[in-house]
Structure 1
């Protein structure tokens, strides 16, 4: 579900403005002109962005959902590469997104109902601005996280290959055992693994989230074959495609360097993944292996914060202390559901168990939501 925040150097492109994108209130225009958050008013049919011509640098979008449907907000680079996103904005709620934008053409998009390509408008970014990575500590943070990604991607290929081999051999029990293990490495590195257009849904898309004309493939198609239809005799081509797609995304991910803001946003988005997919059991609905994904998202979020830690300690030591405490609390809540080397199945947890886990993630998400603003603070 989540297509976590990405960094990209962009060439200028001519982008089409989606229907219903225009206009904003005078107050919104005043705030945007003053350098405050750029107001975005999302309805079921419109996505009104207060300011669409920006100077290069960091910007905050304040998205208000004034519609009746849950919505998402994205900032896209050329080729629908996601620079930043906020998902699951319920009606009546307001969420903020901080992004770092180099000069070039972008699109802002709201997705009412969280489906489709969204209602879009062009964002034109001009001027020269020093990137955050001109700061040595922030550059070191991105380099540290890139090493983490590279440490995970090798295992992702290896374990996905073993899973694919088991599927093709017709060994359903072995494939079931390997499924959550292979996905662990995917879930840890989503802030970079989900950068690339159609590869994310091809690898990790769920059947009910497919766009019109999109084929159901990847991990969750094989999950359905293994646990629901209980027939993998014809799953070989899907398995081969999964491994090929994983190898392709790994090659791309290992050459991608996230911006410091994207590290901060990615840490938060991984927790949103837990709150909206793992806690509810929607993600691994056939296998019920959601807690493996939960643990991996938590580990990935912690890795992103660890990369930023030297910067955060200098700028807001109290926030670091709170993050340490809340990570420890979330890990303790999750560890109560250990089962050998793995985890209990989601359908074996009680409503009280799930509420306790949800409360722990929400308590951690609150301080993590402050990290991006600290990162960009001078």
Structure 2
């Protein structure tokens, strides 16, 4: 970033190439369930044994045949754990089993088509977990697709709810790491963590914004402030870390107070999202809201006016919108297959356009883009916006 001599901002999300992400994930939504008293067998065709400890996630096999899969998860660690099967993008949750206490075994049973996946254990139910690649090979037998539209919708909502919970847990862990560095005066470390940590917030922004008292505490920009309103949250720290000319930096005590408040408000957000109940229309409308966020703030450069890390936010909003769509996609394919195909293409096109500005594990700074490049991104956003606006009605009505 010109003039600030900043380190490369790193991403703490799964290390997946943007070129791969440009191809929209089109796996059918898996129907998942969990049961207690998991078997420890890992014979071919039988349950795949998973052993979770405080520091390891041992999966007995790295591949399986498509169709019905069972993961037998044993917690040999000291803390409650969770186990996830994620789509290859590392974001969309195909199936999960949670609240596995020490010494307890539970099964995750699901239907998975051929493709690349990621397994993850979460000791202590925090952070992004201990991850490993997992391949499902084509068995030659087509997986049964549930014809019950309501069941497809309910499964999509359940999986998106799990996604919100997962992203919130990663936000909590990342915020604490950021806050520790910021409060300690380690500006280089805090700047390096800023954009990547905020991505977890941006992916679930419609849900986070639904808590009207927390949203301004965590995400208010200086331009949003009402007269007399105390300014806290990410953008207050942003201005202090990426200061404009003539800015008077916060004192060590002020930084510590701001960091403490950021952690406390994020913990409160996590507590509230644990009991959030979502509906199919909220998924569809939320996907459109996330794209609107891109159009209003990210593609205009107004969101991150000091750090210029708008493209990190852009990617995160796009991630969240795509996950909501993909969770509803099996139901949409029954109701309007043409719209599902159109959305697949528009999401892929926008992702491909954004991938042009990838740099290492991050992106170009927004102020490095030319007006023509911004216009191209904006055109792709507009092209996706119209069909995405039809998603909710197509699934719900």
1:370 aligns with 2:385: no
CA contact (8 A) 1:330 1:360 kept: yes
Alpha-carbon distance in structure 2 between the residues aligned to 1:244 and 1:339: 33
> 205, 212, 223: which is aligned to 1:197?
212
Q: TM-score, normalised by structure 1?
A: 0.63
> 228, 244, 257: which is aligned to 1:213?
228
CA contact (8 A) 1:191 1:263 kept: no
CA contact (8 A) 2:149 2:334 kept: no
CA apart distance, 1:238: 1.0
Match of 1:320 in 2: 340
> 347, 358, 382: which is aligned to 1:338?
358
> 284, 298, 303: which is aligned to 2:304?
284
Alpha-carbon distance in structure 2 between the residues aligned to 1:339 and 1:265: 31
Match of 1:231 in 2: 249
Secondary structure of 1:135's match? helix
> 244, 252, 262: which is aligned to 1:242?
262
> 367, 371, 387: which is aligned to 1:351?
371
Alpha-carbon distance in structure 2 between the residues aligned to 1:230 and 1:264: 43
Secondary structure of 2:157's match? helix
CA apart distance, 1:184: 0.5
Structure 2: stretches of 5+ with no match in the other structure: 1-147
Alpha-carbon distance in structure 2 between the residues aligned to 1:313 and 1:190: 26
Match of 2:321 in 1: 301
Match of 1:311 in 2: 331
Could you say what the CA RMSD is over the residues aligned between the two structures, in angstroms? 1.5
Alpha-carbon distance in structure 1 between the residues aligned to 2:334 and 2:150: 13
Match of 1:168 in 2: 183
Which digits, 9 at most, give the CA deviation of each residue in 1:85-129, with x for residues without a partner? xxxxxxxxxxxxxxxxxxxxxxxxxxxxxxxxxxxxxxxxxxxxx
Match of 1:152 in 2: 167
Secondary structure of 2:242's match? helix
Which digits, 9 at most, give the CA deviation of each residue in 1:128-171, with x for residues without a partner? xxxxx993222212101011112211110111111101111101
CA apart distance, 1:230: 6.8
Alpha-carbon distance in structure 2 between the residues aligned to 1:357 and 1:134: 35
CA contact (8 A) 2:217 2:265 kept: yes
Match of 2:8 in 1: none
Alpha-carbon distance in structure 2 between the residues aligned to 1:230 and 1:265: 41
Q: TM-score, normalised by structure 2?
A: 0.60
May I ask how many residue pairs the two structures share in their alignment? Answer: 245
CA contact (8 A) 2:288 2:321 kept: yes
